[in-house]
């Protein structure tokens, strides 16, 4: 290696890109460093389902050749990244955490994988997740550990994405979010998570959970990195008829514009009622920082989600049953207990139930649309609890009841399709990450990232790394 850095794996994408473009390190050296780190740490973290060592080194070598010849694909050129193992990868396994997909090797790449490659990123591997991107795991698959405390929940369902990002096992990862699956791991693992507007990022080549709720987005160690990944993967796609036609904004060009005069709504009473006191304190401290940066913090009333979250659940149940109709119940015994239970319930959702739930979605969207006419952003927790101690028997087992309180601040924005950004905002007394969430109007990822970047310039929470993982 032509240059030595003690914490090379914790550099931002921008920092790593500057080293590559200045010739101080090669893409091959950087990729080898991350691969070595995965070999050393991931037997304990268990974030990777598949490490694509040979393919990654070959891609890194090509990147070095391109850069040497003057072909520069941009800031992601030569940067090692990883994707959740529900993104199709040509000639490489894509299992989605499911035994029913154990032998699934696609013959094409997901659009997001193609776009990362076109931007010059180096795909290191595929990341573990819960079975089918729900809450529980299948016994044939490992449960990723939280790098901040190995006995703690790493979030769901993009658990491997959160763990790998926090542990420095990739410079950025992709996750999916149907009820909170980018935001839960981001919050639990102390990293940044961007859930774009529904349709901003193509879902072509993605194993679905619930297609009208599924979002694809990045998990990174700072907001600028999230914006860089977003700019690479977002945009219309002829393969996905639900993808939005709007042009992708050049967020990184304006990310440092600040938030002076931006109106941010917060419902302190709601947060105090529903969130752990330490989580609430972290969010309120975040509001104070944003106010000092020039934002106008405005008290608002969050909509009552008591009817909307069960409606989201009905839509998710029915659409999951549709996604698995060719394998369930035909291969019922190949499913884990949690997923089996969820699919049984999904098959019981009637057409009337589904229509009623979708009608409620219109009202939900309208309530938040009206609220976001009075303010520019909303501020709340990413998740209302601290990462709990996980017990394998419960995560592998059948969960009879689901705690909808866990999704109070997440599922509703999959229901509306609104863009959100999760940011580290502190540490608990036990040294566990705290996280706040910003919510914007549809297609305003730019303002989200401006606010996140401004917050990071005034704090250092995003620069902290798990003390147990060096």
pLDDT, tens digit, for every residue of 247-266?
999 999 999 999 999 999 99
Mean pLDDT of the chain: 96
Where does the pLDDT of residue 324 fall: very low under 50, low under 70, confident under 90, or very high at 90 and above? very high
403: number of Cβ within 10 Å: 10
Give the residue numbers annotated as catalytic, written as ranges.
Answer: 84, 157, 181
Give whole-number Cα distances, 465 to 97, 112, 163, 424, in Å: 27, 28, 11, 11
Quick one: pLDDT at residue 470? 62
CA nearest 124: which of 50, 194, 18?
A: 50
162: number of Cβ within 10 Å: 33
Mean per-residue pLDDT, 321-340: 97
Where does the pLDDT of residue 329 fall: very low under 50, low under 70, confident under 90, or very high at 90 and above? very high
49: number of Cβ within 10 Å: 22
Quick one: pLDDT at residue 468? 76
Whether the CB-CB separation of 94 and 174 falls below 8 Å is answered with no
- Beta-bridge mates of residue 440: 377
CA nearest 381: which of 402, 405, 362?
A: 405
At 272, phi and psi to the nearest 5? -60, -35
Q: What b/e string do you get for 250-269 counting C-beta neighbours within 10 Å, with b at 16 or more?
A: ebbeebeebbeebebbbbee
Q: What are the E-state strand segments in 324-391?
A: 377-381
Kindly state the tokens that stand for 376: 């520019």
Quick one: pLDDT at residue 7? 84
pLDDT, tens digit (0-9, with 9 covering 90-100), for 417-441 = 999 999 999 999 999 999 999 999 9
Quick one: pLDDT at residue 433? 98
Mean per-residue pLDDT, 40-50: 98
Quick one: pLDDT at residue 391? 74
pLDDT, tens digit (0-9, with 9 covering 90-100), for 288-308 = 999 999 999 999 999 999 999
Assigned CATH for 39-56+76-463: 3.90.1300.10
Where does the pLDDT of residue 402 fall: very low under 50, low under 70, confident under 90, or very high at 90 and above? low
Quick one: pLDDT at residue 405? 80
Contacts of 269 (CB under 8 A, 6+ apart): none
Distance CA 30, CA 423 (A): 26
Distance CA 453, CA 225 (A): 10
Distance CA 225, CA 459 (A): 17
Sign of the CA dihedral 405, 408, 414, 415? positive
CA nearest 385: which of 279, 252, 466?
A: 279
Quick one: pLDDT at residue 2? 46
Distance CA 339, CA 130 (A): 9
At 450, phi and psi to the nearest 5? -60, -45
User: Can you give the residue ranges of every domain in the chain?
Assistant: 39-56+76-463
For residue 464, cis peptide bond before it (omega within 30 degrees of 0) = no
Identify the residue whose tokens are 């070959």.
Answer: 58
Whether the CB-CB separation of 335 and 99 falls below 8 Å is answered with yes
Share of the chain above pLDDT 70, in %: 96
């Amino acid at each position: 290696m032509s240059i030595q850095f003690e914490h090379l794996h914790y550099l931002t994408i921008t920092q790593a890109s500057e080293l590559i473009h200045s010739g101080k390190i090669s893409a091959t050296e950087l990729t080898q460093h991350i691969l070595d780190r995965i070999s050393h740490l991931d037997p304990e973290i268990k974030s990777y389902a598949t490490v694509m060592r040979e393919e990654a080194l070959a891609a890194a070598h090509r990147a070095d050749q391109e850069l040497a010849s003057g072909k520069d694909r941009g800031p992601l050129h030569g940067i090692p990244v990883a994707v959740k193992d529900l993104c199709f990868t040509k000639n490489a396994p894509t299992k989605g955490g499911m035994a029913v997909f154990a032998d699934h090797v696609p013959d094409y790449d997901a659009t997001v994988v193609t776009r990362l490659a076109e931007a010059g990123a180096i795909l290191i591997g595929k990341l573990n997740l819960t079975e089918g991107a729900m809450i529980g795991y299948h016994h044939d698959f490992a449960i990723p550990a939280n790098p901040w405390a190995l006995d703690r929940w790493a979030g769901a369902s993009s658990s491997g994405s959160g763990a790998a990002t926090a542990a420095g096992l990739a410079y950025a990862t992709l996750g999916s979010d149907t009820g909170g699956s980018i935001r839960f791991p981001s919050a639990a693992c102390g990293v940044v998570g961007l859930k774009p507007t529904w349709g901003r990022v193509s879902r072509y080549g993605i194993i679905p959970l619930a297609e009208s709720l599924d979002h694809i987005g990045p998990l990174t160690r700072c907001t600028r990195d999230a914006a860089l990944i977003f700019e690479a993967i977002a945009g219309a796609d002829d393969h996905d008829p639900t993808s939005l036609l709007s042009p992708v904004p050049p967020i990184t060009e304006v990310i440092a514009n600040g938030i002076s005069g931006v109106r941010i709504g917060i419902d302190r009473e709601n947060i105090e009622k529903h969130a752990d006191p330490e989580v609430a304190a972290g969010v309120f401290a975040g509001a104070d920082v944003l106010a000092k940066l020039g934002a106008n913090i405005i008290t608002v009333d969050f909509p009552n989600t008591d009817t909307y979250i069960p409606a989201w659940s009905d839509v998710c149940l029915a659409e999951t049953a549709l996604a698995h109709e060719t394998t369930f119940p035909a291969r019922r015994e190949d499913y884990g207990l949690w997923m089996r239970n969820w699919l049984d319930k999904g098959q019981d959702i009637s057409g009337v139930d589904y229509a009623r739930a979708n009608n409620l979605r219109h009202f939900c969207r309208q309530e938040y649309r009206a609220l976001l006419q009075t303010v520019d952003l909303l501020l709340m927790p990413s998740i209302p609890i601290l990462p709990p101690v996980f017990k394998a028997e419960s995560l592998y087992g059948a969960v009879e009841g689901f705690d909808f309180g866990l999704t109070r601040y997440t599922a509703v924005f999959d229901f509306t399709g609104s863009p959100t950004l999760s940011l580290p905002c502190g540490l608990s007394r036990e040294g566990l990450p705290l996280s706040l969430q910003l919510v914007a109007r549809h297609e305003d990822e730019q303002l989200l990232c401006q606010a996140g970047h401004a917050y990071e310039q005034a704090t250092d929470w995003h620069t902290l790394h798990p003390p147990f993982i060096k």
